Chain A
């Protein structure tokens, strides 16, 4: 019950921040609209709605990292966490309380992206449901990364690292904006070693109903999600102890 009380508070803090809503929902939708308009005038296979929607959905998750990191960093800089550390809340309550609300928010963001894409020409099929659920491993990675960054960085640093750097890294290395095969070499090798491009390819495969390919792309994401979660838990508990 105490975990849920804290999780409820975190949900309210995130959803009542207009910047969160603007970036988290507004930006991916604006990108979908803009790139679809470009596609309508100058056809580019990369920006076809079936390819674009999975990419923008995964890109949108990088904002979940920003929400998560900002919330934790803000709480650490205010005295609220200090107060809560003197209550019966345990380290596990805090971690679950921070992570739990962001999963439905990530799913909600994905649902809105797919619904918007339907208005832009995406054909409705049951595979959309699988693709929506398929963001969960990557969502866990992004949420944990946010908790990790928020545990070690200040609010301003979080804005720079998660708001600017991570969103760009996530975009460049996911193959959303350009074909990674065209760049090739080390750049492609780095992209392949990271989870972003696999998350996009998994989404595309789920949308096509190709579950075997989806599973092969899911596998590289899982260790990232596990390691990020373990590192986030370690760093959060360490800073809690340091308090």
Chain B
């Protein structure tokens, strides 16, 4: 069964077509990366799939529900970690997690259990009592992912999760993302080739709002007739230009 299926999805901002007739299928449990240069339409796709914006044409079915007509049901199934750090800065990490637990209607007991679970899963024990706004970028992203996981989502959207992080923080976060594999369907946007290659089950390459190709890193390399994934990406993108 597909976790996500989009049909002719279109989003326009005035004269700019940010997402152009997107047909995409993402399988349940897989880690799917949307790869593309800046302005390719990755973030807009995430916004469409997470009901943050409405499509101008087409539809997407997320976990069996339409993003145009069943937003309430979709929102119950998803977790989103936006591109920018989305934490309440004056609240401690624990309070940020409690906020999301409250929003999802958890009891006191379930809130405490959930915080313990997430702290263990994302190694947040040492920062639980620190103000989220005072943490480094890497830690804030980790907290952001933990917040997205509070509602026990079936589908998790990670928008550029390692953008701007140093190499160590990035690799630490990769471990966190790997640990999620199999438990939830993860849709991640990135413009880092090595990130998409290292983490993804399948990759979709986007350009100018269109999906140019999908497949495993190996399949995309074969399609571009190269062993190097970065070269494959450049060839696929440039081939479209030609």
Contact A2 B82 (CB under 8 A): no
The verdict on B100 contacting chain A, using a C-beta distance below 8 Å, is yes
A79-B84 contact in complex given A1-B105, A8-B102, A243-B53, C-beta closer than 8 Å:
yes
A83-B86 contact in complex given A9-B91, A12-B91, A88-B72, C-beta closer than 8 Å:
yes
Is the interface on chain B under 10, 10 to 19, 20 to 34, or 35 or more residues? 20 to 34
Contact B83 A79 (CB under 8 A): yes
A5-B82 contact in complex given A86-B52, A243-B53, C-beta closer than 8 Å:
no
Q: Report the minimal beta-carbon distance from A20 to chain B, rounded to whole angstroms.
A: 10
Q: Which residues in window 8-28 of A have CB below 8 A to B?
A: 8-9, 12-13, 16-17
Contact A86 B50 (CB under 8 A): yes
Q: Which residues of A contact B75 (CB under 8 A)?
A: 86-88
0/1 interface trace, chain A 78-90, chain B, CB 8 Å (1 if under): 1110111111110
Please tell me which one of the listed residues B52, B87, B89, B104 contacts residue A85 in the complex, with CB atoms under 8 A apart. B52
Please tell me which one of the listed residues B76, B78, B88, B101 contacts residue A13 in the complex, with CB atoms under 8 A apart. B88
Alpha-carbon distance A82/B159, docked complex (angstroms): 12
Q: Which residues of B contact A89 (CB under 8 A)?
A: 103
Task: Kindly name the residue among A2, A6, A87 whose own CB sees the greatest number of chain B CB atoms within 10 A.
Answer: A87
Q: Which residues of B contact A2 (CB under 8 A)?
A: 102-105
Please tell me which one of the listed residues A4, A17, A88, A243 contacts residue B104 in the complex, with CB atoms under 8 A apart. A88
With CB as the reference atom, state the residue of chain B lying closest to A15: B90
Contact A84 B90 (CB under 8 A): no
Alpha-carbon distance A16/B89, docked complex (angstroms): 10
Q: Could you tell me how many residues of chain A have their Cβ less than 8 Å away from some Cβ of chain B? A: 23
Q: Which residues of B contact A1 (CB under 8 A)?
A: 102, 105
B residues in contact (CB < 8 Å) with A? 50-53, 72, 75-76, 78-91, 95, 98-105, 144, 147-148, 151
Q: A13-B88, A87-B75, A88-B76 are in contact. List 14 more A-B contacts (CB 8 A).
A: A2-B102, A4-B102, A5-B101, A5-B102, A9-B91, A9-B99, A12-B90, A12-B95, A78-B86, A79-B86, A83-B82, A86-B79, A88-B103, A89-B103
Q: 23 pairs across A/B with beta carbons < 8 Å?
A: A2-B104, A2-B105, A5-B98, A5-B101, A5-B103, A6-B102, A9-B88, A9-B91, A13-B90, A79-B86, A80-B86, A80-B88, A82-B80, A82-B86, A83-B148, A86-B79, A87-B75, A87-B100, A87-B103, A87-B104, A87-B151, A88-B76, A89-B103
